[in-house]
């Protein structure tokens, strides 16, 4: 492989930190919107809007905890060289690049598109322990593990 896995980790950390900051900002906005100004008359509409904002804030609270967990996982995973698919590996699977760490959206790093998958992803069970050149079956499809590092 011709890239620096530390750079991939740093890219993932940066993207996940930005997602955490965004979730925190949205959480704060919804918490503020959920507060009712008791000094002014309020109608059912105001109470309804505040309740909706409170529900959104509560759901974002889970997102914040998930993002924080992802960051901690990324900080602690060993991204050293790999010859088999496992946590910390970068894998080319039937033409697509994956990082075995945490689930992420697609991202670009060093001119390639990657996607993070966690060890809890169904596809991970199918590729765990595979070596470059091995063929696996997943959801009725045949996939080739082209590279592992």
Model's pTM, two decimal places? 0.75
Question: Tell me: the pLDDT tens digits for 103-130?
Answer: 999 999 989 999 999 999 999 999 999 9
Domain residues of the chain, as ranges?
5-76, 90-148
Residue 45, φ and ψ in degrees, nearest 5:
-60, -45
User: Are residues 62 and 72 in contact, defined by beta-carbon separation less than 8 angstroms?
Assistant: no
Residue 138's H or E segment, with its range, is strand 135-138
> What's the pLDDT at 149?
94
The three-class DSSP label of residue 114 is strand
Question: Tell me: the pLDDT tens digits for 12-49?
Answer: 999 999 988 887 887 676 556 555 555 555 555 544 55
């Amino acid at each position: 492989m011709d890239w620096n896995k530390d750079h991939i980790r740093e890219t993932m950390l940066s993207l996940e930190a930005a997602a955490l900051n965004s979730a925190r900002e949205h959480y704060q906005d919804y918490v503020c919107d959920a507060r009712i100004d008791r000094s002014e008359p309020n109608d059912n509409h105001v109470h309804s809007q505040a309740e909706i904002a409170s529900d959104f804030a509560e759901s974002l609270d889970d997102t914040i905890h998930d993002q924080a967990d992802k960051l901690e996982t990324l900080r602690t995973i060993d991204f050293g060289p790999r010859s088999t698919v496992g946590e910390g590996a970068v894998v080319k699977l039937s033409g697509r690049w994956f990082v075995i760490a945490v689930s992420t959206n697609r991202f670009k790093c060093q001119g390639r598109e990657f996607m993070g998958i966690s060890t809890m992803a169904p596809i991970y069970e199918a590729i765990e322990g595979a070596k470059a050149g091995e063929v696996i079956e997943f959801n009725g499809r045949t996939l080739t593990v082209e590279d592992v590092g």
